[in-house]
Amino acid sequence: MELLEVRNLITEFETDESKTRAVDGVSFSISEGMTLGIVGESGCGKSVTALSIMGLLPRPAGKILSGEIHFNEIDLAKSSAKEMEAIRGNRIGMIFQEPMTALNPVLTIGNQMIEAYRIHKDMSYDEALRSAISMLDRVGITSPDLKILQYPHQLSGGMRQRVMIAMAISCNPDLLIADEPTTALDVTVQAQILELIQELQKELGMSVLMITHDLGVVAETCDKVVVMYGGKVCETADVLDIFDHPAHPYTKGLLASIPHLESTPKSKLPVMTAFGREKNEIPDKSTILTTFVSDENNFSRTSYENQSIENNEIILRVENLKMYFPIRKGVLAKTKDYNKAVNGVSFCIKKGETLGLVGESGCGKSTLARCILRLYEPTSGKIIFKGTDTTKLKPSALKPIRNQIQMIFQDPMDSLNPRHTVGEIIGEPLAINKFSTSFTKKRVREILDIVGLPSDSADRYTFEFSGGQKQRIGIARALVLNPQLIVCDEAVSALDVSTQAQILNLLLDLQEEFNLTYLFISHNLAVVKHMSDEVAVMYLGKIVEENSSDRIYGHSEHPYTSALISAIPANHPAKKAGI
């Protein structure tokens, strides 16, 4: 029996200037107890489809133009606001993509959970409180009677996501919509969240609509898959058929874009060329092209001199580095203890090679990166860059060093100034170093060409670009001073698989062209293996294992490394099922 059936759904957003059809004739169904995955790139209409089902489209801009959404014989597309209030949060629960924005920052976890019980279950405050504590315990939150008194910012990312799950299933819904429930989570936390959702599904007998761009999550959890592009459905099939016999070229392109643990390190990933993006057309075999981006003519030489350094020269050496943050307590704020974010880390990177750094959130990866750039003042230890210990340099002496060490940040939205044009953003390091205006303009356009953006991008603002294009701008800014070492801090973690493949290929091309050295930080172990010559595993502020990428994934020695690798979602549903 079909629990949910969507027929020819059309959802549109209208502004003063234009109309955008975000969902265009989408149809699918979910049976009782099954998990349906909707997969596709950002902007394909996945989340808008979910918001249409839930009646949460932003008004007045968003509206359902036509189509039917049948849930237990009720057409949600035609239901009134009052009718939807009785269904939403009660019979249909939803896990939102970013719990930090979905949870109210000024209300405790308890107050937010109690609200659903009192509205839908007609409980007293005390009954609702006991039910909320029981539900938090059910989703694996320790000391739920204490956590229920805390605010969202006091919980970790994984804990916040567990709270979102507890709120979504609090009224035992028939359907759970999970919109990117594991995006930006560590691989171990992701495995825990996916396992929790599957356990609760079996326990409550509910159906799940899993929305994701991670095909590993699809392989791990879904029975059936809908592939979307440009607001339309490209393909619908059982999960095994999607992976073994994809019928549509777009589906084949998505599958080919994913780096796997079995793939050859530092090889070029197939990427899909842009097609039908302006017209929102479904790509067919005549309009799609899956190819390798490796044309050396795309990259022009800079006007800087090439510095010939032997390939076996160590460009960066870190020795026993420590970064302790004081924990202050009491009225006088005396230091009582230290948070040992980086605790005795040592490693080295050879010129032109990539060291991958993996570990869970909070293990000290980003703190280590900021120490290397001297954005943090290390507690002790040495950071030796090209023979110079940068920890002993004064700020004035650091400037030329910083020109040679640059950073690509995780979220370009946070690191790019929205009030500046792209030309101003990329040219700012040159202006700081007092290069002439004419040289700055020339260099900006040259570097835009190197990263695959048109030269007229220099006159536009960042909001006019997609996520992948913004990351290219971030890469351009890092390259503009012709650095020798680039720290990539989760540079592709927020990108779709096809955009991720383009950025990874770009980084490899740039490394080959300019003999760049990378410190590549990520929690995605497959991406780290694909990009790295050597891999270091970080845990609780220390590097617990370091080896070649093939060796560390094939013959890991430390239990924590083995746990990380075992938590990676299956890249094929047969591996999950043990077929």
| pLDDT digits 0-9 by tens, 482-527 | 999 999 988 887 677 778 888 899 899 999 988 999 999 988 888 8
Question: Looking at this protein, which amino acid is placed at residue 104?
Answer: N
What is the average pLDDT across 101-127? 91
Q: Is 307 a residue whose pLDDT tops 90?
A: no
Look at residue 377 in the predicted model and tell me its pLDDT.
Answer: 92
Work out the mean pLDDT of the chain and round it to a whole number. Answer: 85
Compute the CA torsion angle 248, 252, 255, 259 (nearest 10 deg): -160
Distances in whole angstroms, Cα of residue 246 to Cα of each of 214, 250, 512, 573: 16, 9, 34, 14
In this predicted model, which residue has the larger pLDDT, 475 or 573?
475
Q: Is 368 a residue whose pLDDT tops 80?
A: yes
Look at residue 280 in the predicted model and tell me its pLDDT.
Answer: 41
Write b or e for each residue in 450-485: b if 16 or more Cβ atoms lie within 10 A of its Cβ, otherwise e: bbbbeeebbebbbeebebbbbbbbbbbbbbbbbbbb
CA distance 245 to 466: 31
Distances in whole angstroms, Cα of residue 259 to Cα of each of 268, 571, 572: 10, 10, 13
Q: What is the pLDDT of residues 52-65, one digit of tens each?
A: 999 999 888 889 99
Look at residue 309 in the predicted model and tell me its pLDDT.
Answer: 39
Question: Are the C-beta atoms of 24 and 280 separated by less than 8 Å?
Answer: yes
Which range (94-103, 273-282, 474-483) has the least confidence?
A: 273-282
What is the average pLDDT across 399-413? 86
Q: Is 285 a residue whose pLDDT tops 80?
A: no
Q: What percent of the chain has pLDDT over 70?
A: 92
Instruction: Compute the C-alpha angle 361/358/380, nearest 5°.
Output: 80
What is the average pLDDT across 538-553? 89
Concatenated DSSP letters of 157-223: HHHHHHHHHHHHHTT--SEEEEESTTTT--HHHHHHHHHHHHHHHHHHT-EEEEEES-HHHHHHH-S
Which range (66-70, 171-175, 298-302, 518-522) has the least confidence?
A: 298-302
Q: Is 276 a residue whose pLDDT tops 50?
A: no
Quick one: pLDDT band at residue 191, thresholds 50, 70, 90?
A: confident
Q: Could you tell me which residues are beta bridge partners of residue 318?
A: 347, 383
Look at residue 184 in the predicted model and tell me its pLDDT.
Answer: 65
Using a cut of 0.85, tell me whether the model's pTM lies above it: no
Q: Find which of 1-10, 457-466, 558-567 is predicted with most confidence, using mean pLDDT.
A: 1-10
Question: Looking at this protein, which amino acid is placed at residue 559?
Answer: P
Could you identify the residue written with the tokens 């793939």?
263
Look at residue 273 in the predicted model and tell me its pLDDT.
Answer: 57
Q: Is 479 a residue whose pLDDT tops 80?
A: yes
Look at residue 215 in the predicted model and tell me its pLDDT.
Answer: 84
Q: Is 213 a residue whose pLDDT tops 90?
A: no
Concatenated DSSP letters of 512-548: HHHT-EEEEEES-HHHHHHH-SEEEEEETTEEEEEEE
Look at residue 534 in the predicted model and tell me its pLDDT.
Answer: 92
